[in-house]
Amino acid sequence: MSKIKVSKIKVIKIWRASSLSFQLSSLVVFAVFLCGLVNPLISYDPVLDVDLSRRDLAPSLSFVMGTDGQGRSVGLRLLKGVEAFFFPGLIAGFFAALIGGGLGAICGYLGGWVGRSIAAILELIDTLPRMVFLVLICTIYPPSILLIAMISCLLFIPSIATVVRRKVESLGAEDYILAHVAHGFHPLKIISYHILWLQCRALLTRQLIFVFSYVLFIETALSYLGDYGVQEPYPSWGNMVAQSRISVAAWPWAIPAVAIIVTIAALLAFGDGIARRDEEVKR
């Protein structure tokens, strides 16, 4: 009981101490997460939603965000569109942080030729222009959002590994890591617990959020192109933006466009806020 109370007070304290941009962004991120989590519970049939008698209605009480050219509710489609990137983004972010963090820690900790050859392979992946590589993959393999998420995860491993490696290299010079080595701790324990968990936690969380926002970006971009992502009539923020080609009214494409920008901005600010907070705590 008392434990819950303490953590509650702590949350309020952190909330009060953080900046306005962090507060706003965490609200948006929370809302998107909520949408993503309740999404599987919402049943939505895009075909049944079509009603040509209510085309291009302006936002009103019954349709908060108006309707599009086929009379479908923009708000509902926006909500349902979260599904397209939410779980793929989380999975890609999680694995990118896990693998990238692990590889980076190994590179930085071991050094030598093992570290250098891993670093060389990672640099190779980093040279590939991401969008071009994704299109190439989608030409050769049957495209699906899960494949896209997997490739995004792969493409982000090098940059995460580099960040972690630099951190580990700077830590490696510190005496207490040397002391752990001298105490005879198992290297795996030092890498996974003392380095990755204790030191790189916030950094990896930030990277996870960054990859998530990239999957959101790439999913909307590919769905906008219309051949690889989510296909009409199923909603995605990307193919909703693509309505700009055929829509008479502005809101069917402008609202998802704003949603994309606001969500990515909130994710980035949230990640930065977490990293900054962690630095402050350490100091």
Partner 1 sequence: MNQEAASQKSVTSSSLHDHRPAERSPLMTWIGWVVSKLARGLSLLIGSSFIIYTVLRSAPGDMVDLILGLNGTPEMKADLRAEFGLDLSLVEGYLGWASRALTGDLGISITFMPGEPVLELAGPAFLVTLGIAIVSLFMSIAVAYGLAIFLGPPRPRQTLLLGPIQLLNAAPSFVVAICLAKLINELIQFQLAGGGQIPPSWYPIPTYQRLSDSIAPFVFAALSISLGDGLFTDLFNALRSELNNLSNSLFINAVRAKGASVRPHLVKNLIVPTLSIFTARLPLVLSAVVIVEYIFTLDGSGYLLLQAAKNRDVPVVVGVSLFFILAVIVMNLILDLVKALVDPREVAKGE
At its nearest, how many Å lie between partner 1 and the CB of residue 140? 5
Question: Smaller CB distance to partner 1: residue 38 or 121?
Answer: 121
Selection from 218, 256, 33 nearest residue 132 by Cα: 218
Kindly tell me which of 50 and 125 has the beta carbon lying closer to partner 1.
125
CB of 196 to partner 1, least distance (A): 24
Q: What is the 3-state secondary structure (H, E, C) of the chain?
A: CHHHHHHHHHHHHHHHHCCHHHHHHHHHHHHHHHHHHHHHHCCCCCCCCCCHHHCCCCCCCCCCCCECCCCCEHHHHHHHHHHHHHHHHHHHHHHHHHHHHHHHHHHHHHCHHHHHHHHHHHHHHHHCCHHHHHHHHHHHCCCCHHHHHHHHHHHHHHHHHHHHHHHHHHHHCCHHHHHHHHCCCCHHHHHHHHHHHHHHHHHHHHHHHHHHHHHHHHHHHHHHHCCCCCCCCCCCHHHHHHHHHCCCCCHHHHHHHHHHHHHHHHHHHHHHHHHHHHHHHHC
Question: C-beta of 131: minimal distance to partner 1 in Å?
Answer: 3
- Cβ nearer to partner 1, comparing 29 with 177: 29
Measured from the CB atom, the residue of 98 and 125 that comes closer to partner 1 is 125
Task: Pull the structure tokens for residue 170.
Answer: 């700077």
Q: Provide the minimum distance between the beta carbon of 138 and partner 1 in the complex, in angstroms, as a whole number.
A: 7
Query: Could you tell me how far CA 9 lies from the centroid of its own chain?
Result: 29
Task: Give the shortest CB-214-to-partner 1 separation in angstroms.
Answer: 10
Minimum CB distance to partner 1 smaller for 125 or for 190: 125
- How far are the Cα atoms of 49, 65, 100, 219 from residue 110, in angstroms, in the given order? 58, 55, 15, 36
Nearest distance in Å: CB 265, partner 1: 3
73 versus 263: smaller Cβ distance to partner 1: 263
- The residues binding partner 1 (CB under 8 A) are 120-121, 123-133, 135-142, 213, 217, 220-221, 224-225, 227, 241, 244-246, 253, 257, 260-268
Q: Between 135 and 190, whose beta carbon lies closer to partner 1?
A: 135
Q: Smallest distance from the beta carbon of 120 to partner 1, in angstroms?
A: 8
